[in-house]
Structures are given as C-alpha cells and as structure tokens.
C-alpha cells in the first residue's frame, strides 16, 4: 500500500519496520528513565489513520 501510494517517489524513501511501543512498565526502581520524544509539529501532526482513510477513498 505504501509503495503504491508513493510510486512517484520510488527510490527516494525507505520503509523500515519499527515496534509499536504503547506502554513501558517496570518494577522496582532500578534506574530506568522514561522520556517523551518531541518531534517537529509537522511530524507530530502526521496521522496514519487519516492517510489510510484518504488512500482507501480513492
């Protein structure tokens, strides 16, 4: 689906698999620090759900 949608950009992007991390849990206080990553507004506004809906409405 991604390759089909980006056919005009062939060779200009790379698709990589990343884990879908939604929760981080830990037990005893063993020194873990949990930080939220902040990306640019442009990146944070990307909605895969919106992109999929637009793709399937073609």
Residue ranges of the domains in the chain? Answer: 1-8+42-58
Mean pLDDT of the chain: 85
pLDDT band at 45 (very low <50, low <70, confident <90, very high): very high
Going by the DSSP 8-state scheme, the letter that residue 12 receives in this structure is: S
Give the span between the Cα atoms of 57 and 31, in whole angstroms: 48
Tens digits of residue pLDDT in 14-42? 888 888 877 777 777 777 777 788 888 99
Quickly state the pLDDT bin for 49 (edges 50, 70, 90).
very high
Distance CA 39, CA 50 (A): 19
| Structural tokens at position 57 | 């409405």
Q: Tell me how far apart the alpha carbons of residues 56 and 42 are, in angstroms, rounded to a whole number.
A: 23
- For residues 5 and 55, the answer to whether their CB atoms sit within 8 Å is yes
* 3-state class (DSSP) for residue 43: helix
How much is the pLDDT for 24? 74
């Amino acid at each position: 689906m991604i390759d089909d949608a980006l056919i005009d950009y062939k060779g200009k992007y790379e698709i990589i698999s990343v884990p879908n991390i939604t929760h981080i849990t830990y037990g005893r206080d063993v020194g873990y620090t949990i930080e939220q990553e902040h990306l640019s507004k442009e990146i944070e506004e990307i909605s895969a759900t919106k992109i999929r809906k637009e793709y399937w409405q073609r």
